[in-house]
Homo-oligomer: A and B are copies of this chain.
């Protein structure tokens, strides 16, 4: 399936969540990752996220069947097009 993941962490802890999520997904914007993921990997990722989050922090995972994302449009600068997030 295809997932879009958005996290909201305390500023000094964003790097930790980003490193975790990047093992499974592609970083597309400041606190947003997306990509194809297997059910098994998604379960692992969910568990690791729950272990990582502290009070006041949150993560939303949108699960989509792969063929139902109608469109994805980036306005402004597309961070995936430059080296900002490499």
Query: A residues touching B (Cβ–Cβ < 8 Å)?
Result: 1, 4, 6, 8, 28-32, 46, 49-50, 53-65, 68-79
Q: Which of B1, B49, B72 contacts A60, CB < 8 Å?
A: B72
Q: Which of B55, B60, B76 contacts A29, CB < 8 Å?
A: B60
Contact A75 B50 (CB under 8 A): yes
Contact A69 B77 (CB under 8 A): no
21 residue pairs from A and B, CB less than 8 Å apart: A6-B32, A8-B29, A29-B60, A30-B31, A46-B73, A46-B75, A53-B75, A55-B77, A59-B75, A59-B76, A60-B73, A61-B71, A61-B72, A61-B73, A62-B62, A62-B71, A63-B73, A64-B68, A64-B69, A68-B68, A68-B69
